[in-house]
Protein backbone atom coordinates (compact mmCIF):
# COMPACT_ATOMS: atom_id res chain seq x y z
CA UNK A 1 0.00 0.00 0.00
CA UNK A 2 1.36 3.42 -0.90
CA UNK A 3 1.87 5.90 1.91
CA UNK A 4 -1.17 7.78 3.17
CA UNK A 5 0.16 11.27 3.81
CA UNK A 6 -2.35 13.89 4.94
CA UNK A 7 -1.67 17.60 5.26
CA UNK A 8 -3.76 18.55 8.31
CA UNK A 9 -4.17 22.30 8.57
CA UNK A 10 -5.80 23.75 11.67
CA UNK A 11 -7.11 27.26 12.40
CA UNK A 12 -8.20 28.79 15.69
CA UNK A 13 -11.73 27.43 15.83
CA UNK A 14 -13.43 26.74 19.12
CA UNK A 15 -12.74 23.31 20.56
CA UNK A 16 -9.37 22.54 19.01
CA UNK A 17 -7.80 22.28 22.45
CA UNK A 18 -10.18 19.39 23.28
CA UNK A 19 -11.08 17.91 19.90
CA UNK A 20 -8.15 18.12 17.51
CA UNK A 21 -6.08 15.26 18.90
CA UNK A 22 -9.03 13.14 20.04
CA UNK A 23 -11.24 13.47 16.96
CA UNK A 24 -8.76 13.94 14.12
CA UNK A 25 -5.09 13.35 14.83
CA UNK A 26 -5.33 10.20 16.94
CA UNK A 27 -7.94 8.51 14.71
CA UNK A 28 -5.77 9.38 11.69
CA UNK A 29 -2.73 7.82 13.30
CA UNK A 30 -4.82 4.77 14.18
CA UNK A 31 -5.75 4.44 10.49
CA UNK A 32 -2.11 4.44 9.45
CA UNK A 33 -2.21 7.98 8.10
CA UNK A 34 1.04 9.95 8.28
CA UNK A 35 0.25 13.51 9.35
CA UNK A 36 1.91 16.71 8.18
CA UNK A 37 0.33 19.15 10.64
CA UNK A 38 0.38 22.91 10.12
CA UNK A 39 -1.27 25.35 12.55
CA UNK A 40 -2.20 28.98 12.12
CA UNK A 41 -0.31 31.17 14.60
CA UNK A 42 -3.41 31.59 16.76
CA UNK A 43 -4.17 27.87 16.71
CA UNK A 44 -0.56 27.23 17.72
CA UNK A 45 -0.89 29.65 20.65
CA UNK A 46 -4.12 28.03 21.81
CA UNK A 47 -2.75 24.49 21.58
CA UNK A 48 0.48 25.48 23.31
CA UNK A 49 -1.52 27.09 26.12
CA UNK A 50 -3.63 23.94 26.45
CA UNK A 51 -0.53 21.72 26.60
CA UNK A 52 -1.59 19.87 23.43
CA UNK A 53 1.46 20.34 21.22
CA UNK A 54 3.41 17.41 22.65
CA UNK A 55 0.35 15.18 22.26
CA UNK A 56 0.12 16.13 18.59
CA UNK A 57 3.85 15.80 18.02
CA UNK A 58 3.77 12.25 19.38
CA UNK A 59 1.33 11.26 16.61
CA UNK A 60 3.63 11.95 13.67
CA UNK A 61 7.28 11.70 12.73
CA UNK A 62 7.01 15.09 10.99
CA UNK A 63 7.34 18.37 12.88
CA UNK A 64 4.14 20.20 13.85
CA UNK A 65 4.54 23.45 11.95
CA UNK A 66 3.36 26.98 12.42
CA UNK A 67 6.27 29.22 11.57
CA UNK A 68 7.75 29.48 8.09
CA UNK A 69 11.21 28.06 7.47
CA UNK A 70 14.23 30.22 6.87
CA UNK A 71 15.36 30.37 3.21
CA UNK A 72 18.40 28.18 3.89
CA UNK A 73 16.51 25.54 5.85
CA UNK A 74 15.19 22.33 4.29
CA UNK A 75 11.43 21.97 3.83
CA UNK A 76 10.18 20.20 6.97
CA UNK A 77 7.22 18.45 5.31
CA UNK A 78 6.95 16.37 2.14
CA UNK A 79 4.22 17.53 -0.25
CA UNK A 80 0.88 15.84 0.57
CA UNK A 81 -1.46 15.06 -2.30
CA UNK A 82 -4.37 15.53 0.10
CA UNK A 83 -5.12 18.26 2.64
CA UNK A 84 -7.77 18.51 5.33
CA UNK A 85 -8.37 22.02 6.64
CA UNK A 86 -10.30 21.55 9.87
CA UNK A 87 -11.56 23.49 11.57
CA UNK A 88 -11.46 26.29 9.01
CA UNK A 89 -12.29 29.67 10.56
CA UNK A 90 -14.17 32.40 8.73
CA UNK A 91 -10.98 34.44 8.88
CA UNK A 92 -8.73 31.84 7.28
CA UNK A 93 -11.36 30.85 4.71
CA UNK A 94 -11.57 34.49 3.65
CA UNK A 95 -7.80 34.72 3.31
CA UNK A 96 -7.61 31.41 1.44
CA UNK A 97 -10.28 32.48 -1.02
CA UNK A 98 -8.37 35.68 -1.67
CA UNK A 99 -5.02 33.95 -1.98
CA UNK A 100 -3.56 35.65 1.07
CA UNK A 101 -0.64 33.66 2.45
CA UNK A 102 0.48 35.61 5.49
CA UNK A 103 1.22 32.55 7.60
CA UNK A 104 2.55 29.05 6.98
CA UNK A 105 -0.88 27.38 7.14
CA UNK A 106 -2.27 29.62 4.43
CA UNK A 107 0.93 29.32 2.41
CA UNK A 108 0.65 25.54 2.12
CA UNK A 109 -3.11 25.66 1.60
CA UNK A 110 -2.89 28.35 -1.05
CA UNK A 111 -0.40 26.30 -3.01
CA UNK A 112 -2.57 23.22 -2.62
CA UNK A 113 -5.65 25.03 -3.90
CA UNK A 114 -3.68 26.27 -6.88
CA UNK A 115 -2.41 22.81 -7.79
CA UNK A 116 -5.05 20.76 -9.63
CA UNK A 117 -3.26 17.56 -8.64
CA UNK A 118 -3.84 18.21 -4.95
CA UNK A 119 -7.11 17.45 -3.15
CA UNK A 120 -8.27 19.92 -0.50
CA UNK A 121 -11.19 19.26 1.84
CA UNK A 122 -12.31 21.99 4.22
CA UNK A 123 -14.64 21.90 7.22
CA UNK A 124 -15.90 25.45 7.81
CA UNK A 125 -16.62 26.30 11.43
CA UNK A 126 -18.28 29.64 11.93
CA UNK A 127 -21.15 31.07 13.92
CA UNK A 128 -24.28 32.64 12.48
CA UNK A 129 -22.88 36.16 12.53
CA UNK A 130 -19.74 35.08 10.66
CA UNK A 131 -21.87 33.18 8.15
CA UNK A 132 -24.09 36.23 7.78
CA UNK A 133 -21.23 38.35 6.51
CA UNK A 134 -21.67 38.73 2.74
CA UNK A 135 -18.13 37.54 2.07
CA UNK A 136 -18.60 34.17 3.75
CA UNK A 137 -20.85 32.64 1.07
CA UNK A 138 -18.79 34.18 -1.71
CA UNK A 139 -15.60 32.77 -0.22
CA UNK A 140 -16.99 29.25 -0.07
CA UNK A 141 -18.27 29.56 -3.63
CA UNK A 142 -14.85 30.76 -4.79
CA UNK A 143 -13.14 27.82 -3.15
CA UNK A 144 -15.66 25.35 -4.57
CA UNK A 145 -15.09 26.77 -8.04
CA UNK A 146 -11.38 26.17 -7.52
CA UNK A 147 -12.09 22.50 -6.86
CA UNK A 148 -12.00 22.60 -3.07
CA UNK A 149 -14.31 20.09 -1.38
CA UNK A 150 -16.42 21.75 1.29
CA UNK A 151 -17.83 19.59 4.08
CA UNK A 152 -20.02 21.95 6.03
CA UNK A 153 -21.63 20.93 9.30
CA UNK A 154 -22.86 22.17 12.62
CA UNK A 155 -20.55 22.95 15.54
CA UNK A 156 -21.40 19.72 17.28
CA UNK A 157 -20.92 17.31 14.38
CA UNK A 158 -18.04 14.93 14.99
CA UNK A 159 -14.79 15.55 13.18
CA UNK A 160 -13.64 11.93 12.82
CA UNK A 161 -15.94 11.18 9.83
CA UNK A 162 -13.93 13.78 7.91
CA UNK A 163 -11.23 11.13 7.66
CA UNK A 164 -13.65 8.94 5.70
CA UNK A 165 -14.35 11.86 3.37
CA UNK A 166 -10.61 12.38 2.94
CA UNK A 167 -10.07 8.70 2.20
CA UNK A 168 -12.87 8.69 -0.38
CA UNK A 169 -11.60 11.86 -2.05
CA UNK A 170 -8.04 10.56 -2.10
CA UNK A 171 -9.02 7.13 -3.36
CA UNK A 172 -7.47 5.44 -0.34
CA UNK A 173 -8.82 1.95 -0.08
CA UNK A 174 -9.36 0.23 3.24
CA UNK A 175 -6.15 -1.33 4.62
Ligand X SMILES: Cc1cc2nc3c(=O)[nH]c(=O)nc-3n(C[C@H](O)[C@H](O)[C@H](O)COP(=O)(O)O)c2cc1C
Residues that bind ligand X (CB under 6 A): 11-14, 40, 42-43, 87, 89-92, 125-126, 130
User: Between residues 141 and 168, which has the closer beta carbon with respect to ligand X?
Assistant: 141
Cβ 103 to ligand X shortest distance, Å? 7
149-150 sheet: strands from edge to edge: 34-39, 5-10, 82-88, 119-124, 149-150
Distance CA 125, CA 81 (A): 23
Cβ 74 to ligand X shortest distance, Å? 25
User: Between residues 13 and 80, which has the closer beta carbon with respect to ligand X?
Assistant: 13
Distance CA 27, CA 107 (A): 26
CB count in 10 Å sphere of residue 147:
13
User: Between residues 60 and 103, which has the closer beta carbon with respect to ligand X?
Assistant: 103
User: Between residues 90 and 97, which has the closer beta carbon with respect to ligand X?
Assistant: 90
Cβ 8 to ligand X shortest distance, Å? 14
Q: Are 20 and 47 in contact (CB under 8 A)?
A: yes
Cβ 171 to ligand X shortest distance, Å? 29
Distance CA 173, CA 93 (A): 29
Based on its alpha-carbon atoms, the radius of gyration of the chain, rounded to whole angstroms, reads 15
Amino acid sequence: MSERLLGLVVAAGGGIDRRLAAELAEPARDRGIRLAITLTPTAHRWLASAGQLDRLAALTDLPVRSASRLPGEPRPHPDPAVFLFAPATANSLAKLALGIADNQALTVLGQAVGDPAVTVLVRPQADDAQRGHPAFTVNLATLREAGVLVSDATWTDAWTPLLDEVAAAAGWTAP
